[in-house]
């Protein structure tokens, strides 16, 4: 069974059981500056798990794109990946343990509707109880209907209590493991099972969390108003099990890109190839979701992934350095599930190529510099110089050092970096993470002005112009958009005039709810369509004389009327941001 069939079987299975299928949110969470990426399917659903009614009802399911980089050093083993999809079903105060467990078992084992996995290879763990919650005898009882009692193991909070962090909904969970050995392990005692887990002979396949508790500042503070279910199953691992492999890289999800790597490598090394495949795949999805390489936050993770891939690509003896065939292989694998990658392919290739070229140039010089270091410990100054002058992320310095039996003063480096950042950050810049982190009057004025500016850019430059990134503080807007060449001052003047006209005409911001399909068909501007529900909020600057200055998909906040934008909109800079992407900085002059 192919991965696409597995994904769609999962969604169909739960749709049939009354679940609304919701789209994957983008990898960068909106309005949640506490995390860089969605790392679990439930993350975008936290407000609903805490009690807010979901517009689609109390039963939801989807396949959510996730990125986790904590395991980056493990990439290359059998089961880790920096990008993965998490299949999940949720009950928001609707069904609880009984249905959740029954459906997990049925989906895993049913040949007709599910995956047809062998029930004799299943093992489960349930929560053994502690001061926060009792031993989960209820879950164990339910499981006994489906698998023999001696394959149900009670385990502590470390493995069987799930929460997304120090704050939020949480609860005991029951985890399902599948035996991936050739001959099968048969019955095992708890100790034998734990040892098999260590050897990756049993692999976690699904986690059902019974979310009825809440955590605050790391402590469980009590029960939620509703008993929820949050389940998560890593698609890559499921595919691996269904396809009878012992590692995720041998599945059809990686076949395309690994084939492209193998074809071009002169010195093939399995681990290096897996790292390249993983990192290019993740970079493709990140860029597709609007992330660009930079020295901070999500951009830094992307930079690190591309640079690490470049290092391993050269180690594989691949001489043709264009990332195009690798990106094409990823896009081909995901074209039906994530069609945005198809439209974005050329841009993704050029972002990776540009970052890769930049790094390759400095890598050579940096390696020479590296070789000159004779000490066994690389000092903070040396690591910082490699970072600052040669573009070596600290992780790469550590890796190269490790290969040469050297150590790095990492703490010293981080201190130096922090000092440097504090110095170069003129004024406390607010971070913008996909939503407005700051809703001060100035920021909101600039947000509405940015909508008007994008509409003007599309009017004067053409429909190919779309948002490629945005960062708004109370002082300025910094806006990236797709356009291949420099924008003349003449056009910038026209753009300014357009925005200022809308401001001086004192037009209301009208929020209209529209069917997503209609909005898209009518040319409403927006990114990340796939993450929006069927009915969307379209923000329109619509004057009383009927002129519409801007129509864009958004979640706000905006001014109520352009009269609230106090001042004159001015573009202070226009420059290249990356290949095919331009950057404008603009302000409101009082």
Interface residues with ligand SER (CB under 6 A) are 40-42, 88, 162, 207, 209, 230-232
How near is the Cβ of 211 to ligand SER at its closest, in Å? 8
Nearer to ligand SER by Cβ, of 104 and 284: the residue is: 104
How near is the Cβ of 160 to ligand SER at its closest, in Å? 11
Nearer to ligand SER by Cβ, of 209 and 455: the residue is: 209
- Closest residue to ligand SER: CB criterion: 232
The answer to whether 231 and 90 are in contact (CB under 8 A) is: yes
Nearer to ligand SER by Cβ, of 161 and 193: the residue is: 161
How near is the Cβ of 230 to ligand SER at its closest, in Å? 5
Nearer to ligand SER by Cβ, of 68 and 358: the residue is: 68
How near is the Cβ of 87 to ligand SER at its closest, in Å? 9
3-state DSSP call for residue 585? strand
How near is the Cβ of 159 to ligand SER at its closest, in Å? 11
**Cα separations (Å) of 221 from 126, 132, 133, 480?**
21, 9, 11, 43
**Could you give phi then psi for residue 83, rounded to 5 degrees?**
-110, 140
543 annotated as ligand-binding:
no
How near is the Cβ of 89 to ligand SER at its closest, in Å? 9
Q: Give the residue from 162, 101, 89, 114 showing the smallest Cα distance to 8.
A: 114
Residue at token pair 């923000």: 539
Distance separating alpha carbons of residues 251 and 240, to the nearest angstrom: 6
Nearer to ligand SER by Cβ, of 93 and 232: the residue is: 232
Rounded (10°) angle between helices 324-334 and 252-264:
160
Cα Dmax for the chain? 77
Quick one: 224 exposed, middle or buried, by C-beta within 10 A (0-12, 13-18, 19+)? middle
363 token code pair: 């890598």
3-state DSSP call for residue 177? strand
413 token code pair: 């480096």
Nearer to ligand SER by Cβ, of 88 and 288: the residue is: 88
Distance separating alpha carbons of residues 309 and 303, to the nearest angstrom: 10
Q: 155 pairs with which residues across the strands?
A: 127
Q: Give the residue from 208, 210, 204, 202 showing the smallest Cα distance to 232.
A: 208
Q: Give the residue from 67, 85, 84, 79 showing the smallest Cα distance to 11.
A: 85
Nearer to ligand SER by Cβ, of 41 and 288: the residue is: 41
Quick one: 508 exposed, middle or buried, by C-beta within 10 A (0-12, 13-18, 19+)? middle
Query: How many helices and strands in the chain, by DSSP H and E?
Result: 18, 18
558 annotated as ligand-binding:
yes
Nearer to ligand SER by Cβ, of 136 and 230: the residue is: 230
451 annotated as ligand-binding:
yes
How near is the Cβ of 282 to ligand SER at its closest, in Å? 18
Nearer to ligand SER by Cβ, of 45 and 495: the residue is: 45
Nearer to ligand SER by Cβ, of 83 and 312: the residue is: 83
The answer to whether 501 and 493 are in contact (CB under 8 A) is: no
Q: Please give, one letter per residue, the 3-state secondary structure of 47-73.
A: HHHCCCCCCCCCEEEEEEEEECCCCHH
The answer to whether 241 and 118 are in contact (CB under 8 A) is: no
507 annotated as ligand-binding:
no
Please state, as a whole number, how many other Cβ atoms lie within 10 Å of the Cβ of residue 554. 21
Please state, as a whole number, how many other Cβ atoms lie within 10 Å of the Cβ of residue 329. 21
Q: Give the residue from 251, 298, 260, 305 showing the smallest Cα distance to 278.
A: 305
User: Can you say which residues are annotated as belonging to the binding site for Zn(2+)?
Assistant: 447, 451, 554, 558
Binding residue positions: 447, 451, 554, 558
């Amino acid at each position: 069974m192919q991965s696409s069939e597995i994904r769609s079987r999962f969604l169909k299975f739960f749709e049939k059981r009354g679940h609304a299928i919701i789209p994957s949110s983008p990898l960068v969470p909106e309005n949640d500056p506490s995390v860089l990426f969605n790392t679990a399917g439930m993350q975008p659903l936290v407000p609903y798990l805490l009690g807010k009614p979901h517009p689609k009802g109390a039963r939801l399911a989807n396949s959510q794109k996730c990125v986790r980089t904590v395991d980056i050093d493990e990439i290359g083993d059998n089961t880790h990946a920096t990008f993965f999809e998490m299949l999940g079903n949720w009950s928001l105060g609707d069904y609880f343990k009984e249905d959740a467990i029954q459906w997990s078992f049925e989906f895993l084992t049913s040949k007709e509707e599910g995956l047809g996995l062998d029930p004799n290879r299943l093992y489960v763990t349930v929560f053994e109880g502690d001061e926060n919650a009792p031993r989960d005898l209820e879950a164990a009882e339910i499981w006994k209907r489906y698998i023999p009692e001696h394959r149900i193991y009670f385990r502590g909070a470390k493995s069987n209590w799930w929460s997304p962090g120090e704050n939020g909904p949480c609860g005991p969970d029951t985890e399902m493991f599948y035996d991936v050995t050739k001959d099968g392990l048969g019955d095992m005692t708890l100790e034998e099972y734990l040892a098999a887990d260590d050897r990756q002979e049993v692999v976690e396949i699904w986690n059902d969390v019974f979310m009825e508790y809440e955590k605050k500042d790391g402590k469980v503070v009590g029960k939620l108003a509703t008993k929820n279910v949050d389940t998560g199953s890593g698609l890559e691992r499921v595919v691996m099990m269904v396809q009878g492999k012992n590692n995720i890289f041998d599945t059809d999800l990686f076949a395309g890109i690994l084939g492209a790597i193998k074809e071009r490598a002169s010195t093939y090394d399995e681990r290096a190839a897996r790292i390249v495949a993983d990192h290019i795949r993740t970079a493709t999805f990140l860029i597709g979701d609007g992330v660009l390489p930079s020295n901070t936050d999500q951009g830094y993770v992307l930079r690190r992934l591309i640079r690490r891939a470049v290092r391993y690509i050269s180690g594989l003896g691949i001489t043709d350095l264009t990332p195009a065939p690798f990106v094409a292989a990823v896009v081909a694998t995901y074209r039906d599930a994530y069609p945005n990658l198809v439209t974005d392919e050329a841009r993704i290739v050029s972002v990776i190529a540009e970052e890769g070229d930049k790094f390759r140039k400095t890598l050579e010089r940096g390696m020479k510099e590296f070789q000159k270091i004779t000490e066994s410990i690389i000092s903070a100054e040396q690591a910082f110089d490699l970072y600052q002058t040669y573009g070596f992320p600290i992780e790469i310095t550590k890796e190269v050092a490790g290969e040469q039996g050297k150590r790095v003063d990492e703490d010293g480096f981080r201190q130096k970096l922090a000092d440097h950042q504090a110095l170069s950050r003129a004024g406390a810049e607010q971070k913008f993470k996909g939503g407005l982190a700051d809703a001060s009057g100035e920021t909101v004025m600039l947000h509405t002005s940015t909508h008007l500016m994008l509409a003007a850019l599309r009017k004067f430059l053409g429909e190919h112009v779309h948002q490629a990134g945005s960062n708004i503080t109370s002082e300025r807007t910094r806006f990236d958009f797709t356009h291949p060449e420099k924008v003349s001052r003449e056009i910038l003047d026209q753009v300014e005039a357009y925005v200022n006209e809308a401001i001086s005409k004192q037009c209301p911001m009208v929020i209209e709810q529209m069917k997503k399909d209609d909005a898209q068909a009518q040319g409403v501007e927006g990114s990340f369509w796939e993450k929006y529900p069927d009915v969307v909020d379209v923000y329109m600057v619509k004057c009383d004389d009927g002129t519409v200055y801007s129509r864009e998909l958004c979640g706000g906040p905006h001014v109520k009327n352009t009269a609230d934008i106090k001042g004159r909109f001015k573009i202070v800079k226009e420059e290249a941001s990356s290949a095919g992407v331009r950057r404008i900085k603009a302000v409101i002059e009082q």
